């Protein structure tokens, strides 16, 4: 029997590679497109030799409608794009081009292929400094170009739904963490920073007092939510995605084990991120399965993955975030 086909953009990346795992486990043939700038071929290497997982190395901005990659595809999961706050402030054209125009390219390929569902990986950064717990109808207040680019791409997705009838859903991810997260690039997510510091026997660089909380959700739970968003008959929907149970940075340090030092609190960063997950649990019957403690243990079991990551200290962090303080301060 012919396997159903799904396309995963950014499928060699952090969340995308786990999406590939979910799809393969349910009998899909998966076609991955990834530039391999942030993603790693090793993330899907365990599928090597399987005729039903194909990797195309390339930039989504080079895609054209009618691409064979999308032929007969049932679902498209769109994770490809570029992240991080500071580089987006320094290179806004690149971010708008990759994240907005790149998304339009993927939308057009999906439309030409007549896919059954297009699921977009949106970002909770669109809310800015939000009231918590944050619902989907919260005012949109992006604070920096990355957030703006992700939200404008989300708007493009829903415009393609409205104008062309493309069956689209979007999920605004809060704080995903887990194995295979990015090890290269700019100073960014707390897990990558801390794991490399632990490997080096260095103290964790805790921003502010460490009491700030984040709605961390383990990556396999993220992938399962996206799969549910593809299989539902609902279209034109956007859902917030988190565990609905914020955890403090100090709690993370406690679970990782090690010394800590404090660095200055940064402007534009919320004290708390907290997704109201009422809609996604009600609409899709999805619920988080992996506890924070279990998720951190799974990461520690795979900590060697982060040995190649940059090793940050207070001095290098201060230099890397100069632009952050310059443009996001006093607002």
How far is C-alpha 41 from the geometric centre of its chain's CA atoms? 17
If residue 262 lies in a helix (H) or strand (E), which one and from where to where? strand 260-263
Crossing angle of helices 102-113 and 145-164, in 10° steps, is: 20
Domain boundaries, the chain: 5-176+216-241, 181-214+244-272+291-328
* CATH top-level class of 181-214+244-272+291-328: alpha beta
What pLDDT was estimated at residue 308?
87
Q: Give how far the C-alpha of residue 96 lies from the chain's centroid of Cα atoms, to the nearest Å.
A: 17
Looking at residue 330, its pLDDT comes to 61
The pLDDT, as a whole number, for residue 245 is 97
Distances (CA, A) of 103 to 35, 63, 67, 156, 171: 14, 10, 15, 8, 15
**pLDDT tens sequence for the chain (331 residues):** 689 999 999 999 999 999 999 999 999 999 999 999 989 999 999 997 777 899 999 999 999 999 999 999 999 999 999 998 999 999 999 999 999 999 999 999 999 999 999 999 999 999 999 999 999 999 999 999 999 999 999 999 999 999 999 999 999 999 999 999 988 777 778 999 999 999 999 999 999 999 999 999 999 999 999 999 999 999 999 999 999 999 999 999 999 999 999 999 988 889 999 999 999 999 999 999 999 999 999 999 999 999 989 999 999 999 999 998 998 876 5
- DSSP states along 206-256: EETTS--EE-EEEHHHHHHHHHHHHHSS--SEEEEES-SS-EEHHHHHHHH
Q: What pLDDT sits at residue 255?
A: 98
Residues serving a catalytic function are 146
Among 189, 303, 286, 212, which Cα is nearest to 243's? 286
Same fold, 5-176+216-241 and 181-214+244-272+291-328: no
Instruction: Look at domain 5-176+216-241 and name its CATH class.
Output: alpha beta
């Amino acid at each position: 029997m012919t396997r159903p086909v799904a396309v995963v953009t950014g499928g060699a990346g952090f969340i995308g590679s786990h999406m590939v795992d979910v799809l393969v486990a349910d009998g899909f043939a998966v076609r991955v497109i990834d530039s391999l700038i942030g993603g790693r071929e090793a993330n899907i290497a365990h599928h090597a030799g399987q005729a039903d997982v194909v990797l195309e190395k390339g930039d989504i901005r080079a895609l054209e409608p009618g691409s064979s990659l999308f032929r007969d595809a049932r679902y498209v999961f769109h994770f490809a794009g570029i992240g991080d706050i500071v580089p987006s402030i320094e290179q806004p054209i690149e971010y708008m081009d990759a994240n907005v125009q790149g998304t339009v390219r993927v939308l057009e390929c999906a439309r030409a292929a007549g896919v059954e569902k297009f699921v977009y990986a949106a970002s909770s950064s669109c809310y800015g400094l939000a009231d918590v717990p944050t619902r989907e109808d919260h005012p949109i207040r992006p604070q920096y170009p990355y957030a703006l680019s992700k939200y404008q791409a989300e708007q493009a997705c829903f415009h393609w739904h409205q104008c062309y009838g493309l069956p689209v859903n979007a999920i605004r991810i809060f704080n995903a963490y887990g194995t295979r997260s990015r090890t290269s690039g700019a100073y960014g997510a707390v897990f990558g920073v801390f794991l490399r510091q632990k490997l080096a026997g260095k103290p964790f660089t805790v921003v502010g007092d460490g009491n700030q909380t984040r709605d961390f959700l383990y990556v396999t739970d993220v992938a399962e939510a996206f799969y549910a968003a593809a299989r539902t008959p609902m279209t034109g929907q956007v859902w917030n995605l988190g565990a609905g149970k914020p955890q403090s940075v100090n709690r993370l340090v406690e679970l990782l084990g090690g010394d800590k030092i404090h660095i200055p609190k940064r402007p534009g960063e919320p004290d708390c991120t907290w997704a109201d997950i009422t809609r996604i649990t009600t609409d899709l019957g999805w619920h988080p399965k992996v506890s924070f403690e279990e998720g951190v243990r799974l990461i520690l079991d795979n900590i060697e993955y982060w040995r190649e990551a940059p090793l940050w200290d207070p001095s290098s962090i201060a230099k890397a975030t100069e632009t952050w303080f310059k443009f996001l301060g006093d607002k």
